[in-house]
Amino acid sequence: MARIYLIRHGETDGNKFKSIQGCIDLPLNAKGIEQAEKMANYFKDIQIDAIYCSSMQRACRTAEELAKVKGLEIHPMDELREITFGEWEGVPFPELERRWPEGFKTYFANPMQWTPPGGETLPHVQQRTFGAIKAVLEKEGHDKNIAFVCHGGVIRVLLCTLLGLDLDYIWRLSVANVSVSSFNEWNGKFISDTINDYHFLNEKKEFSPVL
């Protein structure tokens, strides 16, 4: 029985200063590296057979900490890169709301009904990311424990997909930096075990529905 772990990357300055990163390839900041180290230590006694990650540097750097603890290599995949947010990338949230008031309201209430200018549709994100998960399971075997280190938007899409939820629910799911969500594959279905677990950080997370 396969077990998959969806792990978000550590903090970047984009997270810290509350802007949408999307495909801007920012590195982890000092806090993000510390978070990644704590996450990796949490997995010290947990079986992991393979580590796959987004090819973006914030995900790779987070995955490298886990790889050091587990004695494994990382396998970067372009298919696990963050959602492309087009013209919204790098823009602080207050400015997004000012420049696109109706689009901002619609996207975070009913995201299937609107896409940021030049951005990626959620069905496309779902196709490429869930397709990557299935391909890895076929390659590694359905009896392996596999970690996937990627992004907040991507993990929300995958959570909806694995739980059978409409993609309009993605912004109702909180996904903190280096949080762990885990699923067992059983009888052709994915059974949730944990979602958004970051207790190992020993810190209070400021609520943010997106960041």
Residue 119 pLDDT: 97
59 is a domain residue: yes
CATH number for the domain that contains residue 116: 3.40.50.1240
209 is a domain residue: no
173 is a domain residue: yes
Question: b or e along 126-140 (b: 16 or more beta carbons within 10 Å of the residue's beta carbon)?
Answer: bebbbebbeebbeeb
Q: Within 10 A of 91 (CB to CB), how many other CB atoms are there?
A: 18
113 is a domain residue: yes
Sequential pLDDT tens for the chain (211 residues): 789 999 999 999 999 999 999 999 999 999 999 999 999 999 999 999 999 999 999 999 999 999 999 999 999 999 999 999 999 999 999 999 999 999 999 999 999 999 999 999 999 999 999 999 999 999 999 999 999 999 999 999 999 999 999 999 999 999 999 999 999 998 889 999 999 999 999 877 665 656 6
Residue 204 pLDDT: 74
188 is a domain residue: yes
Question: To 10 degrees, the CA torsion angle through 70, 73, 79, 84?
Answer: 70
User: How far apart, in whole angstroms, are the C-alpha atoms of residue 88 and residue 75?
Assistant: 29
**Residue whose entry in the numeric block shows the structure tokens 């587990």:** 70
133 is a domain residue: yes
Total domains in the chain come to 1
Residue 65 pLDDT: 98
CA distances from 47 to 5, 39, 65, 92 (A): 11, 14, 15, 39
206 is a domain residue: no
211 is a domain residue: no
Q: Which domain holds residue 149?
A: 3-201
Alpha helices (runs of H) in the chain, residue ranges in sequence order:
13-16, 30-42, 57-70, 93-99, 101-109, 122-140, 152-163
